[in-house]
Amino acid sequence: MLRTGIVLDSCYQDHYTGRNHPERPARIATLLTRFETYQRPALKRFAPRPAQPEEIGLVHDTAHLDRVAATAGKSYFAFDADTPVSARSYETALLAVGGLLVLLEAIMTGDIENGFALVRPPGHHAERNRAMGFCLFNTAAIGAQYLRKRFGLQRVLIMDWDVHHGNGTQHSFYDDPGVLYVSTHQYPYYPGTGAAEEVGRGAGEGYTVNLPLPAGWGDREYQELFQWVIDPICRQFDPQFVIISAGFDAHVRDPLGGMEVTEEGFGHMARVLLRIARDHAHGRCAAVLEGGYDLEGLQQSVIRVLDEMGGEMLTTPLPALTPRGLLPRVRAVQRHYWELPAD
């Protein structure tokens, strides 16, 4: 049984977005309730710490940090129509980033093999100088930079399976070959980025892999793409660490997404990535919560991924799938940069 760390704390309920906002404190409350009874060997809970300004500065400019900090103590402020904050949102966002960094430190020092930062607000839409799409600071992107700056890693994989494209994460590394950003997302959909032809630029060309998906896809289609496109590309990249931007709004129950993924589907995706981490990164893998707005779907999916992180299913075969040539445009684009199996 692999040693898994989690960060989950009632402090993440302090970011209040309004009565009818989908990114609400109840997302954490439901997980706190579930973890009163969830038991799994070798599971260790970590307390979060606030990220320091220089850690936020690994991705965001000082002006952006100052703008978010200026909202502290205000009962209400909105960066845009989707991204309201309240008096303790800045503090909570620092703890969200710091929660992931705590797990990265524990993994890199050998205290645990993998972990899941169950934090909010989410982060993958946050740009270098802009809060948007429910996101204030880009937690996954900061985590990748932290691994490179503090621990000297040269190749970090960020796999983003949220139903929305992570524009902020993509832009953070668009010209950087040291981070492979791979995204499955409903398309066209918010925020409008993530076309197959968005592959990076300059030295980073080929290190952005977008898989824009039509609404209605579910476990079978995701599993095929993970097996026949994502797995071979990630293995050729040879990552030293795997970060999962784990949004669960592609769940069939989710009110914001139009996909039909189940918790079993998320489990299969996690198993593929955990195998990549095992074979290339000494097992080092950390997930950070992004979207997921149906509380039951969120609960079930998080538990399913944590069960996979235990490692006992890493040798269990995934469904044998015959490639059907899904997303031919994606495959054509990516074959300029990576070797892919024949359709």
Q: Is the pLDDT of residue 140 over 80?
A: yes
Res 319: pLDDT: 86
Cβ-based neighbour number of residue 54 at 10 Å: 8
Tens-place pLDDT, residues 142-197: 999 999 999 999 999 999 999 999 999 999 999 999 999 999 999 999 999 999 99
Catalytic annotation present for 280: no
Enumerate the β-bridge partners of residue 157: 180, 242
Res 241: pLDDT: 99
The total domain count for the chain is 1
In a domain, 291, yes or no: yes
In a domain, 125, yes or no: yes
Sort 272 into a burial class: Cβ within 10 Å, 0-12 / 13-18 / 19+.
Answer: buried
* Residue 268: φ, ψ to 5°: -65, -40
Domain span including residue 316: 4-334
| Dist. CA 333–CA 294, nearest whole Å | 34
In a domain, 41, yes or no: yes
For the chain, give the longest Cα–Cα distance.
57
Range 70-94 average pLDDT: 98
In a domain, 343, yes or no: no
Enumerate the β-bridge partners of residue 213: 186
Tens-place pLDDT, residues 204-236: 999 999 999 999 999 999 999 999 999 999 999
In a domain, 341, yes or no: no
CATH number of residue 258's parent domain? 3.40.800.20
In a domain, 330, yes or no: yes
| Dist. CA 196–CA 333, nearest whole Å | 7
Res 238: pLDDT: 98
Tens-place pLDDT, residues 115-127: 999 999 999 999 9
In a domain, 74, yes or no: yes
Q: Is the pLDDT of residue 322 over 90?
A: no
| Dist. CA 198–CA 314, nearest whole Å | 32
Res 320: pLDDT: 85
| Dist. CA 5–CA 286, nearest whole Å | 9
First to last CA, the chain: 36
Contacts of 21 (CB under 8 A, 6+ apart): 84
| Dist. CA 75–CA 103, nearest whole Å | 31
Enumerate the β-bridge partners of residue 163: none
In a domain, 339, yes or no: no
Q: Which of 60, 124, 125, 165 is catalytic?
A: 125
Res 342: pLDDT: 86
Res 323: pLDDT: 84
Q: Judge contact between 318 and 272, C-beta under 8 A.
A: yes
